Chains A and B, each alone.
Chain A
Amino acid sequence: MEEKILLKYIDVPDIEKIEVYQKHDGYKGLAKALKQHKPDQIIELVKASGLRGRGGAGFPAGLKWSFVPKDSGKPVFLCCNADEGEPGTFKDRLLMEKNPHQLIEGIVITAYAVNCHQAYIYIRGEFSQAMKVLEQAIEEAYEHNCLGKNILKQGFHLELSLHSGAGSYIAGEETGLLESLEGKRAEPRLKPPFPASVGLFKGPTVINNVETLSNVPHIIMRGPEWFKGFGTEKSTGTKLFCLSGHINKPGVYELPMGVPLKELINNYGGGIIGGRKLKAVIPGGSSTPVLTAEQVEEVAMDFESLQAAGSMLGSAGVIVMDETTCMVDALANLTRFYAHESCGQCTPCREGVSWMAKIARRIEEGKGLEGDLELLLDICDNISFKTLCPMGDAAIGPVVSFITKFRSEFEDHIRQGRCPIEKDKSIKVRG
């Protein structure tokens, strides 16, 4: 068994209770941080660990924290991004439902590092179970002096509140999140200014993903060198990989960064359902470019390897598709998702993405026209880098890669005027 960091105690009964968590080294990282380190030293330790954001972009966490100005005179805010909406991703929900104190501890240490006294967890509105667990855990943390005034009698003060979203994917984009947290439509802001200088309520703000923050106590407890012992040189630590689709054992797997994708699918995920042939894999959540079965043979799951393969690690939502998958149908599904979730501020994203959804669907239904593929790629061109937030580019990721890598399948649909794939979209019975 591989050594785990985040899921190490996930199966310990009642680990969501503070007494049990404390028996398993819980809040020791916090005690160490407050007693032995100055805030700047925490930032240096996390920088040295190489920890990169687990929400999608992979930005170095310590570096992000170091951008927070020390002398702005305004209160600093920390927002934990628990909006988890990227299709194929379901790791943050697990971390929150099963080990909420690990996250709270990470939040308190991070807040201490950036001199923040008010933190929020922005959680997607659908996650009511996780909310219940977190509410309880936050209350316990206050009772045990791990939140509130004079934390662990070390003079540090932090308030932490849970803030529920109300159904919106774009609220997961960091500036959309800030707008939403301010009580508005989750319409992303133009950057710069970056949240580190002008964020929530115009104060300097750090936004980090649930998984990113959950790593922090362990780095403080055991040191950056230990953390760097996991993973690759530039993608350090372990990663929670989310396996779904046509796979025998879907689920969340914690493995070192750089694990071969093939190993993840076959050894951990138990291979393709029904012993069928693999067709394609989306490696990092719905917006990351698709990989062909041949690429899957070779690629490793870390930021650099996936980038070299023309895709991205993203949020590590691995969606496995077998030979019965119609790639046009899958693309029509994903483009519909993005069309539905566009906030509507920029014309290329608002109009372009829904056109793409309509065209993909009509091709799948056998009503595609000669030239539709060029049209789709042309729309992508007109969206790429022409929108306010990265969602425009997220939406075209699948379109360009699906058409480029599975072009003949798209052409067959158009030429034959029907879907030539024997699709199996039935309910799967797993062993």
Chain B
Amino acid sequence: MAVKFSPQAVKEFEETLARYPHKEAALLPVLLLAQREFGVLSDELVQYVAGLMDLPPSRVKSVVTFYTLFNTREVGRYVIRVCHTLSCALNGTEEVIEHIKKRLHIDVGETTPDKKFTLLECECLGSCNTAPVTQINDRYYENMTLELVDQILDSLE
């Protein structure tokens, strides 16, 4: 099935374009929109976005692979990003990562077989005062403890 934006997304796409004097400048927000709609920026989706933006697909792909928040591979419904930069590392982030690995039976970079969770490590989330910090989809979870990991994972449907 060919990918296509929903009417709502088309509206958002047009509003986005209006914010820039050059169409090309809207590429990042449009890719973020596409990822919200479809989850993964597959080659097919990249082609589609390239068409919308009047850009060569290779040009779009080079942007997609540059930024860490773009998913080029399939991910779970919940993407867990555990910060492993210095302030978090000093405050126990390794314990958090090990605990999640054990609970979900996956390694960093992997997705659970039921496609629910993907576990990733990430760099400083700009919340070092509440280390260790974990981001799940859009939300920050701060001052993580092993009990909190359990609670959070249990609460996610």
Partner pick for A427 among B32, B96, B139, CB 8 A cutoff:
B96
Tell me if B125 counts as interface (CB < 8 A to partner A).
yes
- B63-115 at interface with A (beta carbon < 8 Å): 63, 66-70, 84-87, 89-92, 94-96
Which stretch of A26-34, A334-342, A384-392, A410-418 is in the interface? A334-342
Indicate the member of B31, B68, B87 with the most A CB atoms within 10 Å. Answer: B87
* A94-137 interface bits toward B, Cβ cutoff 8 Å, 1 = contact, 0 = none: 00000000000000000000000010000011111100000000
Q: How far is the CA of A177 from the CA of B16 in the complex (A)?
A: 18
Name the residue on B nearest A249 (C-beta): B129
Partner pick for B63 among A129, A185, A251, A333, CB 8 A cutoff:
A185
Partner pick for B126 among A90, A286, A325, CB 8 A cutoff:
A90
- B126-149 at interface with A (beta carbon < 8 Å): 126-132, 135, 138-140, 144-146
| Contact (A87, B127) CB under 8 Å given A167-B68, A426-B95 | no
Tell me if A165 counts as interface (CB < 8 A to partner B).
yes
* A66-82 interface bits toward B, Cβ cutoff 8 Å, 1 = contact, 0 = none: 00000000010000000
Name the residue on B nearest A90 (C-beta): B126
**CB-defined contacts of B52 to chain A, threshold 8 Å:** none
| Contact (A165, B123) CB under 8 Å given A126-B69, A185-B63, A427-B91 | no
**CB-defined contacts of A173 to chain B, threshold 8 Å:** none
Q: Are B86 and A242 in contact (CB under 8 A)?
A: no
**CB-defined contacts of B24 to chain A, threshold 8 Å:** 182-184
Name the residue on B nearest A186 (C-beta): B66
Q: Are A85 and B139 in contact (CB under 8 A)?
A: no
Tell me if B19 counts as interface (CB < 8 A to partner A).
yes
Q: How far is the CA of A427 from the CA of B94 in the complex (A)?
A: 9
Q: Smallest Cβ distance from A4 to chain B, in angstroms? A: 18
Q: Are B123 and A87 in contact (CB under 8 A)?
A: yes
Q: Are A128 and B62 in contact (CB under 8 A)?
A: no
Name the residue on B nearest A84 (C-beta): B126
Tell me if B26 counts as interface (CB < 8 A to partner A).
yes
Partner pick for B70 among A166, A184, A425, CB 8 A cutoff:
A166
**CB-defined contacts of A92 to chain B, threshold 8 Å:** 126
Q: How far is the CA of A88 from the CA of B90 in the complex (A)?
A: 12
Tell me if A368 counts as interface (CB < 8 A to partner B).
no
Tell me if B22 counts as interface (CB < 8 A to partner A).
yes
The tally of residues in A whose CB lies under 8 Å from a CB in B reads 60
Tell me if B9 counts as interface (CB < 8 A to partner A).
no
Q: Smallest Cβ distance from B128 to chain A, in angstroms? A: 4
Tell me if B152 counts as interface (CB < 8 A to partner A).
no
Q: Smallest Cβ distance from A279 to chain B, in angstroms? A: 11
Q: How far is the CA of A161 from the CA of B62 in the complex (A)?
A: 25
Tell me if B124 counts as interface (CB < 8 A to partner A).
yes
Indicate the member of B29, B89, B132, B139 with the most A CB atoms within 10 Å. Answer: B89
* A240-283 interface bits toward B, Cβ cutoff 8 Å, 1 = contact, 0 = none: 00111110001110000000000000000000000000000010
Q: How far is the CA of A92 from the CA of B125 in the complex (A)?
A: 12
**CB-defined contacts of A125 to chain B, threshold 8 Å:** 32, 67, 69
Name the residue on B nearest A87 (C-beta): B124
Name the residue on B nearest A86 (C-beta): B124
Q: Are B28 and A87 in contact (CB under 8 A)?
A: no
Tell me if A236 counts as interface (CB < 8 A to partner B).
no
Interchain Cβ contacts under 8 Å between A and B, 17 examples: A85-B123, A87-B128, A89-B124, A89-B128, A118-B21, A127-B126, A128-B139, A163-B19, A166-B67, A182-B25, A183-B27, A184-B27, A185-B63, A252-B129, A330-B89, A333-B85, A425-B94
Interface residues of B (CB under 8 A from A): 19-22, 24-29, 31-32, 62-63, 66-70, 84-87, 89-92, 94-96, 122-132, 135, 138-140, 144-146
**New A-B contacts (4) at CB < 8 Å, excluding given A89-B128, A90-B128, A427-B144:** A87-B123, A90-B129, A250-B129, A337-B124
Per CB-CB distance, the 3 closest pairs between chain A and chain B, nearest first, are A427-B92, A183-B27, A167-B68
